A = this chain, B = another copy of it.
């Protein structure tokens, strides 16, 4: 099967959607390579989707190929971020939006869990102080 033979169904296609550019299939191979590298070395990876010459059709095609996993993560901090597992465990589709809902950045993250989800030490220390304050307040 050639690239042009792949049936692509645009769900809300504009009247003249751009055709697949060919970069999407290159990226799919790159993702597989990063997952293989991670399994072999433990080294995780982040791919900046907006830094690549992908059009909307490419992104739709890629998203459909990767599929939807069981885990959906939402982070609300000055705009919503969605960090969703694809149907390939350890491959996450990460999007950051501004407060108006516009896409600020989009990444594929290859890792056990997206980095942003992990609680960081300084924040945990701050949370402990909050807990101690709550406990003091109990009298």
Contacts and interface: CB of A to CB of B under 8 A. Distances in A.
Interface string A86-99: 11111100000000
A74 B138 CA distance: 32
Please state the number of chain copies in the assembly. 2
Contacts of A125: 39
Given A88-B128, A90-B119, A123-B90, A138 B39 contact: no
A135 to B, nearest CB: 6
Interface residues of A, number: 52
Nearest to A68: B76
Contact of A132 (B32, B85, B90, B130): B32
Given A36-B128, A38-B124, A39-B125, 10 more contacts: A6-B138, A70-B76, A71-B74, A72-B76, A85-B119, A87-B130, A89-B119, A112-B119, A112-B120, A113-B113
